[in-house]
Amino acid sequence: MRKYTLRGAGILGVTGLTFALAACGSSDDGSTGADGGESGDAPGGTYTWWDPYPQHDGSSDWEARVQACGEDAGVTIERTAYDTTALTNQALLSAQEGTSPDVILIDNPAVSTLADTGMLTTVDEFGLDTSSIDQNLLDAGVVDGNAYGIPIGANTLSLYYNAEILDEAGVDPASITDWDSLTAALEQVTGAGSKGITFSAIGTEEGTFQFLPWFWGSGADLSQLDSPEAVEALELWKGWLDEGYAPNTVINNSQNTVWEEFLTGDFAFAENGTWQVNSAAEAEFETGLVQLPAKDGGVAPAPTGGEFIVAPVQEDTARYDVTRQIVECMTTPEGFVETANTFAYYIPPTAEGQEALLEENPDLEPWVEAVQSAKGRTSDGLGTDYPLISEALWTAVQNAMSGAATPAEALETAQADAEAATS
């Protein structure tokens, strides 16, 4: 294993990170042996684990899931949870201080940020097999041809619908296969007196996250924000707003707000994620799901959410054998399904895991299809440039939706800003 030297962005360079879908230090400095004693001693003792799930406390199923992997490896896991942005910053700080934990679960767009500093081992260096991982999901953690982690599962976006509203308006959800048919459905349901569609166009990463299926579904690429295809995608959203198919609230909507609007029963459609599966099942009206359509048909690539499990470089390489066992426990076919069931909204990143999940819950088949078509936000080789490009894009969406600029003008400015920020 190599030693590391911090490269690229320092702590100050990442304090503004707002990767979203989703405090205390470790008592283990990462430099002791596996049993907390001399280097090279037999397994035992404590291994440190950080994740972005503060909502899952010590009594949760997730805590039990993590501790079970420690028990299988013959060690105790000391788990610390931070919110998503704080976790990235804390991870970078720990690398500078030489106190990195043994294992981190990190939001997938942040993998490149950590890898760019040199603080992560690659999966090849760690001896992990990723051949069964779906490439479109693994790509989110690939930097310069090297994979720096393994997805523990994935979530993504799709289009929920209110079946009662569609029935009353005479809209067959199966007819929604492209942008034209979706727009026609919105015209039909609003003409029948209902509200059309709600989504998040907020000026944060959540806004970019929700816009990307339409951006990518037009054929656009994040390296060229002002392409004709990109303009078409933003014109689609702006057109829905102008026609009254979408409410003005979308400009400030978070994804949670979108869901709250949908649960009122007033809207025919809501763009939202896998994590709302249980809530949709408990809604006071019948819900359904159609895939987010690409412009000319087919399933649009939606961005992948979800965390990667990564192993920071340690001064004491004797710790790696046990760390590898912990990582492997989380990434077996059975482990992927167990994680999916624990969270209720993670789709396993392997074909075998997906098949096993569908045997237990066939209703998740549309989400498996959506994940299979999904795409990592950094997977076009954007790496640490992604958050800079994303900010330019969400700013363009805000400017166009508010009427401050036309879609073409807003995206032309965004491209210039992205080029300046990444040059």
CATH for 13-154+305-372 is 3.40.190.10
3-state secondary structure of 304: coil
Tokens found for residue 217: 């579904």
Residue 31 has pLDDT above 70, yes or no: no
Residue 68 has pLDDT above 50, yes or no: yes
- What pLDDT is recorded for position 281? 95
Global confidence as pTM: 0.85
- Domain topology for 157-302+382-422: D-Maltodextrin-Binding Protein; domain 2 (3.40.190)
Burial class (CB in 10 A: 0-12, 13-18, 19+), 9: middle
Interval 142-163: pLDDT, tens: 999 999 999 999 999 999 999 9
* Amino acid identity, position 408: A
The mean pLDDT of the chain is: 89
Going by C-beta distance under 8 Å and a sequence separation of 6 or more, which residues neighbour residue 330?
A: 69, 152, 309, 339
Task: Describe the crossing of helices 333-343 and 320-330 by its angle, rounded to 10 degrees.
Answer: 60
Interval 236-266: pLDDT, tens: 999 999 999 999 999 999 999 999 999 999 9
- What pLDDT is recorded for position 293? 98
- What pLDDT is recorded for position 85? 83
* Over residues 200-208, mean pLDDT: 96
3-state secondary structure of 243: helix
Taking the domains of the chain in order of start, what are their residue ranges?
13-154+305-372, 157-302+382-422
Residue 34 has pLDDT above 70, yes or no: no
Tokens found for residue 109: 């767009």
Cβ atoms of residues 97 and 72 within 8 Å: no
Task: Describe the crossing of helices 365-372 and 351-360 by its angle, rounded to 10 degrees.
Answer: 160
- What pLDDT is recorded for position 201? 98
The two domains 13-154+305-372 and 157-302+382-422 share their CATH topology (first three levels equal): yes
Q: Regarding predicted confidence, which is higher, 17 or 380?
A: 380
Report d(CA 193, CA 187) in Å as an integer: 10
Residue 197 has pLDDT above 70, yes or no: yes
* DSSP 8-class letter at 291: P
Query: What percent of the chain has pLDDT above 70?
Result: 90
Tokens found for residue 49: 């684990």
- What pLDDT is recorded for position 126? 86
